[in-house]
Structures are given as C-alpha cells and as structure tokens.
Amino acid sequence: MKIYNTLTGQKEEFKPIEEGKLSMYVCGPTVYNLIHIGNARPMIIFDAFRRYMEYKGYEVNYVSNFTDVDDKIIKKANEEGVSSEEIAERYIAECKKDMEALGVHPATVHPRATEEIDGMIKMISDLIEKGHAYAVSDGTVYFRTRSFDGYGKLSHKNIDDLESGHRSIGVTGDEKEDALDFVLWKPKKEGEPYWESPWCDGRPGWHIECSVMSKRYLGDTIDIHAGGEDLIFPHHENEIAQSEAANDEPFAHYWMHNGFLNIDNRKMSKSLGNFFTVRDISEKYDLAVLRFFMLSAHYRSPLNFSDELMESAKTSLTRIRTCAGMLGEKAEGEGELSETEKGLVEEAKGFIGKFESAMEDDCNTADAIAAIFELVRFANSNAAEGSSPKFAKELLDILTKLCDVLGISLEEKEEDIDERIEALIAQRQEARANKDFAKADAIRDELLAEGIVLKDTREGVKWSRG
C-alpha cells in the first residue's frame, strides 16, 4: 500500500507501527447543524480506505471525533434558547443517521470534546511546564509557537513568512508574546458552557481537542491522521506542534488529506445559495449515488458537484446494480461449471487484482471503480443464456466482494427502480411519437431483459414484473 503523505509531499510505502494493525484518526464535524456534502467527502473516502485495510486483514482502530463545544454551537443554542449540550446531542444523532445512509461504518470510537476536558487540562499543564505555553492575566493560555522547531513542516510554510503575514493584517493578542501563538484555553463568556481549570473557568481551544482525543484512544504516535485539505493549516499544523511538544514523540507517520468539493465549479457557501446538506441531496437521490459519486474521483483531486454529474453517477451505479440483478437471477438453480466457464472464472478473478492494484496506489477509488466496470462488461458478455447458475454465482460473488470493499450498495430502493422504469417508458412514448420505432423497441427489450412487461392500453402504458 502506497500513501501520499502530505508531511513529505510524496507517495510512501505504508509501514504500520505494529504489524497487522492500523491506528487512524479522522477529524469529524462540528455538530451545530446537519452535515453538508463537504463534510461527507472525508467521511466516505476514509471509510473506503478503512474498509480496504480491513479487507487486507488489518485490525483497524479508527477514531473520529465530534466537536461538541464551539462558538457556532453556542450561537445556535442562544438563537434557539436551549443549551449547547442539547444542540450537540441533536446534531450528533442526525449526523449518525446521515453516516448510516451514506454507508459509513461507525468509528471504533467517536469521542466528544466535552468528555475529554481533564485530558486537555493535563496536556496544557504539561506544555506550560515544558515552556511551550503560557497563561496571561485573563486566564487565556497560548501555545508558544516559536518554541516548536518543526512548526510549518506539514503545510510547508516558513514561520518567518507566517509572522510577516500576521503583522500585515494586524493579528495580535493583548498579551501575546508573538502574533503566531494560538489559544489552548480561553476564559468563559456570559451564558457559555465552561469548566474549571488552574487558569480560569473557561473552555479549550479547538486544536488541543484533537491532540488529546488522538492521544487517549490511539497513543502518542499514530499511523495515519486524515481530514480535509482545508484543515492542513492551521488545525493540523497546530496539532503537530502541541502533540509533539507535549509528548516528545512524532505525532503521526502519515497524513492524508482529501481535496476540496466545489458546486458547479464554485466554492460552496450559503451566500452563493449553493450550500447543500446531505439531507438535501437525499430528497433527490438515493445516498448510495452520492457515495458512488464521491468515490468516482481520486480523493486528493478537487471534486465538482453538479446535477449533471450526479445523474451520470446514478446511471453508472444503475449499470452495476442491473448487472448484479441479472447475475442474481441466473444464479438460481443447480449446475456445475463447464470447462469453458472455469477458464472464464479465472479470467474474472483478474479484475480483483486490478481493483487491489488501484487501491494499493494511494487509495485510487476511481481506478478501482473502473476495474468493477470491466467486470460488469465481462459479466454482461459472458453470462449468456445457457450459462450455468454456478458461473453466474461465481461472477456475482466477485462483484459483490469488490463493491462491499468500497461500500457500494447493490440493493436498489424500490421507489428508485419504479422511477427509473417510468422514465424509460416516457422515453419510449416520446420515441414512438417521433416515429423512432427502433428506439422504442430497444427500450421495450431493455425493460423486458429486467423482467418488466409493458402493455399498451387505452389508458396508457401499464407495466408489471413478469
């Protein structure tokens, strides 16, 4: 398995800390609203990576947090006149529903920031003791950024350039020693949740939360830390600084980051009116289509979301599901493989190798899906009338196995099947009206191959499953 490591800027052979085991931390959402499709991309991508590593026999400890104390959560709570805890609980539950609908497996542990405050206070105390952090008069604790020699190694930013940039935009704190120093602990404001600490009643900064949760559930050094490209700086850079300064150990050996998601070639934002939650998409599409769409591009590439591309993903997924359905029907019954079929099964197993080669090359799900389509074409060409049920079952088993690794569901929702049939019938009617009888007959034959029988009546076209 080769992984593109953001830390080194190149693909590297994956070597786990402990043979046969994988420790992985993926930054999760801040729970103040329904998750949007930008949140969904890392969830889907790194779930597929995890599934593949489990398929290869790794014991995976996969940790993904919920940030359940944050300015946005507090603002939402104040707007609704409820507690921050109530907002967080509500949207954690909703997030889990969306994750399940997207085929994302629950993490080994889903820690919440508010449950790890003691660990955060301990790490901050250690940083102060080691000279890497300091408290100011109002109880705010800052990380002393220049005390950590490796600052900028993940984002490949020069600390002097960062200092210059901060000066030019006037980012300073009243008692900060340096404009680059970032908050580890901040004092409470009226009406905000808070915890007691040696410095003041307050709450943690965002960056320290992930460092502590990763340490508690995975240890001082982990195999892989992952998340969206937007988190590289400052979030992940700051995580490295405080974790390595506190623990005197490397934080993560490999860093994986997915590319940005755009909407119709524009950045997703509420102000542009192109902001979509996963729940919004579910009103128009089976969320298996969204998952398939996300996996159809390499995870490090920017991904453009549009109705046209989603329709294309829907069509592609339907092709795979139709093939699986055909094989399922042909697999019913008894019979052994012919000598010719034995050779074809061995040929079909070659697609497993192509699939694995793609996944071994930095989790290239796009090429892995291409291998699945090669298998689909092979099955459509070779599982002919007169093929043995055993042959169809062998092909179906291979197809199912590969789709399972990516979390691609082969089960089509009943309402989606009906909608597709109605759309094809409408196309057939239009073709007949245009006297394109060849196209009309081709659509009828396509439906008949799926067991759909059409009957032309005075009231219109009626259909039934044969």
- What local confidence, expressed as pLDDT, does residue 172 receive? 45
Q: Residue written as tokens 């779930």?
A: 47
CATH number for region 2-258:
3.40.50.620
CA distance 213 to 112: 8
CA distance 45 to 316: 19
- What local confidence, expressed as pLDDT, does residue 425 receive? 87
- What local confidence, expressed as pLDDT, does residue 167 receive? 41
> pTM of the entire structure?
0.88
- What fold characterizes domain 278-406? Isoleucyl-tRNA Synthetase; Domain 1 (1.10.730)
Residues 6+ apart with CB under 8 A from 379: 323, 326, 327, 348, 395, 399
- What local confidence, expressed as pLDDT, does residue 131 receive? 98
Give the pLDDT means over successive 10-residue stretches in the chain (466 positions).
98 98 97 96 98 98 97 95 97 98 98 98 98 97 96 93 53 76 96 96 96 98 98 97 98 97 85 87 96 98 95 96 94 90 97 98 98 97 90 97 97 69 84 88 80 79 73
CA distance 365 to 355: 9
| Strand boundaries in 125-187, DSSP class E | 133-135, 141-143, 182-187
Q: Is 435 exposed, middle or buried (0-12, 13-18, 19+ CB in 10 A)?
A: exposed
Instruction: Determine what percent of the chain falls in helix, strand and coil, rounding each to the nearest 5.
Output: 50, 15, 30
Could you report the per-residue pLDDT of 405-439, keeping only the tens digit for each?
A: 999 999 876 666 677 788 788 888 888 889 898 88
Domain layout of the chain by residue ranges: 2-258, 278-406, 414-465
Residue 258 C-alpha from the chain's centroid: 9
* DSSP SS3 for 176: coil
